[in-house]
Structure 1
């Protein structure tokens, strides 16, 4: 028996999702198969303005998300993303960029994708119907009430994501939903509801397009906003980056040159003295303290450079 026959036996139990915005037909692309390439690209350009508007209209809940996640992470909590298919891949992408960009522990921001990491390169769509594995994933990672969970589901109906949010909510963890449908189409209880209404997709139902673009924009804002508040950024520079290759070493040198108004030789010397830490280099230069005392001062201020400088009365 093939997979369709397996599903066909339960056909009467399958819910009709045709009413969801993300499943409906886009009038602007109804005859896209007839368009020449120039007109086809015009349609994409026009439609791809909508994720930006969706983000703009969700500003209030994005602000709330950043502040509430920051409070949890500042008190030893962690941030988790969960999703299936494209949503899960976006989750993994954003989480995996935090350690190299902000020098965070891989445990601080984690992503869970239906079907496991193999799903990053190989489709496992059936996994999104499982309501138990997502909860097991959270339990395996010792998810607690101190943590935060962002569930990403474009259509707002993914069982894998919904069950995990319900579990996290019962624990008392912070729960955030990112979806592209309205409350009347999908409504369940989370602490924060981010509704990125991007409308019907150019290819009906293909939420890897506008819905995914909007979700990625939201994740960019949330994770970057939280890291900025945690002191991982100073004057729009990534001062906690991991120097793991020549490109990042050059970036570290240039950051120090720009922020401290010094030449490359002085920047390299500072990095040697600070054992490769841009943050510590800045504090050493501005305060006149040695490496050991700079480390001590940062630790007393949760490794937050702006707060440390403020405490020391250093204005830049």
Structure 2
């Protein structure tokens, strides 16, 4: 079966959105075995999208393999590690589409193939359906169910399920809510055009999802070491440009304390964003000597996604990031120079 050589992005409130949903359904109908991929360091939206797609396909009588190599650093995600397969099973060694008829790939929550574990890239010779809600990146795939207006990728999975006439099972509904809550900061980042978010959430609650239980799973049950490490990141905070930018960092030397903790950056961003006058936050983490990852967050108007894209990264307008092959102090200098004309 041939698919359009062009990829398709859409806004869900027009006819193109309906057409690409139908094309995504046809893609699923035409294949029997699916490898479900997501991005490295998965968050709740990625995990929810992968596992819901795998579950739905299995209930349809398809074979679905959710592939994910982690790391599962986020405390709300670590318990899901056992639901994934780390290595590619059951495929002809050549991994050519002609030799593996009926096999396909679904990539969720990824705006570029670079965000996918490299050992899985050999699968990209198969037909690929991309389901994603990022506005930036390097478009790829045979069919793209992509809507940058969507609050989460799990909402797109939810739309796809409805298009196929499938009612979500209890666990699937919880995972869709989990992804939605993750990417909206538990609805804190919703704006006036977010009615679909609350309509979807209400529908999921009617199906038995407990918002309280999901909130507790996302923000409760932290270990003492996690709170201490969060305190360290807060204590290092620097205020720049009359309080408009907050900068903090994590070094390799922090490994002993960080190892006894779980990822604290999401809550850290929230605390910094609550400071009066703050417009942006930059968090630099030293990954290895001379290599740093940069996380960016903003409030309301500043587009940190554009800043990240200019440095080879990507993300959303209010949440983005990139990697830098430089020492931490050099990355700090670059960030301050980049932000200076924006305030």
Q: Structures share a fold, TM > 0.5?
A: no
| Larger helix proportion of the pair | 1
Structure whose alpha-carbon radius of gyration is higher:
1
| Structure with greater contact order relative to length (CA < 8 Å, sep ≥ 6) | 1
| Larger strand proportion of the pair | 2
